[in-house]
Amino acid sequence: LTERLESAFKNLKGEARINDLNIANTVKDIRRALIDADVNYKIAKEFTDRVKDKAVGSKVINAISPGQLMVKIVKDELVELMGGEEAEFNTTGNPAVVLIAGLQGSGKTTFSGKLASYLKNQKGKSPLLVAADIYRPAAIDQLMVLGEQIGVDVYSERENKDAVSIAQNAIKEAKSKNKNIVIIDTAGRLAIDEAMMAEVANVKEAVKPNEILFVVDSMTGQDAVNTAKAFNERLDFTGVVLTKLDGDTRGGAALSIKYTVQKPIKFVSSGEKLDTLDVFYPERMAQRILGMGDITTLVEKAQAQFDEEQAKKLEKKIRKNQFDFQDFLDQLQQIKKMGNIKDLMGMIPGMGKAIKDVDISDDAFKGVEAIINSMTPYERANPDSITPGRRNRIAKGAGKQLADVNAFMKQFEQMRQMMKMMNKMPMGKMPGMRK
Ligand code: GDP
Ligand code: MG
C-alpha cells in the first residue's frame, strides 16, 4: 500500500498546482491503494470521488506541494468519514445495560472482559458480567475465568436455556448487589443466522440496553461489511468494536463498516491481554490505512504546513492587538484535537516558556471553554465589551460562578498585556515569534 501511495504522490511531485490531469491519475492510484487495504470497491470509488471534488476546489497554498495537499485532503476525509470526534459511551441508568453481539470468534467474550475491567477501574462504576451464551457450556467457563482474573462477578445459569430470562435475572441480581453496569455477553454463530439474530433481538427488546455493541474481527476484511449490515438491520446497534487490530490487518474494514452502517466505532481491541481497552481514534486509523513510513511523514509535513499558515494568521492578529476570545477558543480546540493541551499552549507565541514546567490537564480548560461558549459572537470578538452585567449572564450560561468568569477575564487580560508588550519589542527579540 505504501508503495502504491508513494508512486501516486510522486506523480504530483514538482507540479505547481493541482489540475484535472494530475488529480485523475492520483485519484486512480489512491483508489487502488484503498482496495488493497481491504476497502470495499464501491466505497473506495465513492471516497476517492469525494476527495477529487475537494482537491479540484482547493488552492495550493504557499510552500505546500500539490502532492502534500492531496495527502492532507485524503487523510482529512478518512478522519471525517470514520467519525471525526471520539464517540460517547453511555453508562447512565441503574443498572446501565450493555449488550454485546457479533459472530462467533469475533472476540465478544474477550472484549466483555476488557470492558468490565476498564469500567471497574472507573470511579463509581461497578460492573456485572453476564454469560448469555446458552449453547456452549465452555463459554460460561471462559467468562468465569475472565471474571476471576479481573475481579468482576459473573452471572450465569447453567440449566437455563433462555437468554432473555438469564438477562432479566441478571439485571435483578445487579440491583440487589449494587452493580450499576450489566455487560451481557451473548452467543454468536459462525455465520449470520436467523435464530441467533432473533435471540439477540429478543434480549434487546427485554432489557432495553443503553449500548448495543457490535463486535467484529478486523481481519475478516470485506466480509465484515456484510456482517455489520445484517446485525445493524436487525439490532440497530449503537456502536462498533473492532477487534484483533494487533494482527497485520490494514484497517480497511474500519472504513467500509463506518461508511456502510454509519455507526461510530467506539472501541478497538488489540490483543488478548485484558487490561488493554482502547478508545477508537479516527486519526490513528486513518494513519494506518494510509500506511506507515514515508506517507506518514508526508502527512505530518502537510499538517505542519497547514498549522504554520494558521499560526501566521494568528501572529498577525496578535501583532495588531486583535487577539480575542474566539481566537483563544480556536486555539483550545486545535490543541484538543492534537490531544495535548500543553502542546497547544506552546503554539501561542510567548506561551511556550511560561507553561514549560506547569502541569496542565485537559479538564482545566473545560470551564474556560464553557465560559467562552456562553459569550455572544460580538463579545468574543470584542473582549473590552464585557461589562460586569454581561459577566453575570455569561457565568449563568456557563454554569459557573461569577468569580470564575472574573478570574478568567483577568487571566485573559494579562495574556493580552503580555502580547502587547511583546509587540513593542524589536522584531528579532520576540520570544516564540519567527522572522
Ligand atoms: P467470541 O466467540 O466472540 O466470544 O470470541 P472470543 O472472545 O472467545 O475470542 C475468540 C479468539 O480470539 C480467542 O482466542 C481470543 O483470545 C482471540 N481474541 C479476541 N480478541 C482479540 C484481539 O484483540 N487480538 C487477538 N490477537 N486475539 C483476540
Ligand atoms: Mg464468547
pLDDT at position 65 is 60
- Is the Cβ atom of 114 under 6 angstroms away from ligand 1? no
Range(s) within the chain of domains with CATH label 3.40.50.300: 96-282
Please name the amino acid found at residue 299.
V
Q: Reduce the secondary structure of the chain to three states and give it as a string.
A: CHHHHHHHHHCCCCCCCCCHHHHHHHHHHHHHHHHHCCCCHHHHHHHHHHHHHHHHHCCCCCCCCHHHHHHHHHHHHHHHHCCCCCCCCCCCCCCEEEEEEECCCCCHHHHHHHHHHHHHCCCCCCEEEEEECCCCHHHHHHHHHHHHHHCCCEECCCCCCCHHHHHHHHHHHHHHCCCCEEEEEECCCCCCCHHHHHHHHHHHHHHCCCEEEEEEEHHHCHHHHHHHHHHHHHHCCCEEEEECCCCCCCCHHHHHHHHHHCCCEEEECCCCCCCCCEECCHHHHHHHHHCCCHHHHHHHHHHHHHHHHHHHHHHHHHHCCCCCHHHHHHHHHHHHHHCCHHHHHHHCCCHHHHCCCCCCCHHHHHHHHHHHHCCCHHHHHCHHHCCHHHHHHHHHHHCCCHHHHHHHHHHHHHHHHHHHHHHHCCHHHCCCCCC
- Is the Cβ atom of 246 under 6 angstroms away from ligand 1? yes
- Is the Cβ atom of 113 under 6 angstroms away from ligand 1? no
pLDDT at position 119 is 93
Q: How is domain 2-81 classified at the architecture level of CATH?
A: Up-down Bundle (1.20)
Q: How far is the CA of 252 from the centre of ligand 2 (A)?
A: 25
Nearest to residue 380, comparing CAs of 327, 419, 310?
327
Task: Answer yes or no: is 191 a known binding residue.
Answer: no
- Is the Cβ atom of 276 under 6 angstroms away from ligand 1? no
Please name the amino acid found at residue 169.
N
Q: Give the full edge-to-edge strand order of the sheet including 278-279.
A: 154-155, 127-132, 181-186, 96-102, 211-217, 239-243, 265-268, 278-279
Q: Give 10-residue mean pLDDT values along the chain (435 residues).
A: 56 52 70 78 86 70 59 80 76 94 94 95 93 89 95 94 95 96 91 88 96 92 86 95 82 85 90 80 77 49 64 78 84 60 52 54 73 91 90 92 91 83 60 41
pLDDT at position 346 is 53
Taking the CA of 131 as reference, the closest ligand is 2
Q: How is domain 296-429 classified at the architecture level of CATH?
A: Orthogonal Bundle (1.10)
pLDDT at position 157 is 95
pLDDT at position 73 is 80
pLDDT at position 63 is 44
**Ligand 1 atom closest to the CA of 271, numbered from 1:** 24
Indicate whether this model's pTM tops 0.95. no
Range(s) within the chain of domains with CATH label 1.20.120.140: 2-81
Taking the CA of 108 as reference, the closest ligand is 1
Which CATH fold would you assign to the domain 96-282? Answer: Rossmann fold (3.40.50)
* Pocket probe mutation, ligand 1, options 135, 140, 272, max atoms within 8 Å of Cβ: 272
- Is the Cβ atom of 102 under 6 angstroms away from ligand 1? yes
Range(s) within the chain of domains with CATH label 1.10.260.30: 296-429
Taking the CA of 267 as reference, the closest ligand is 1
Nearest to residue 126, comparing CAs of 86, 175, 161, 194?
175
Cα–Cα separations (whole angstroms), residue 403 to 85, 123, 376, 394, 410: 32, 29, 19, 11, 10
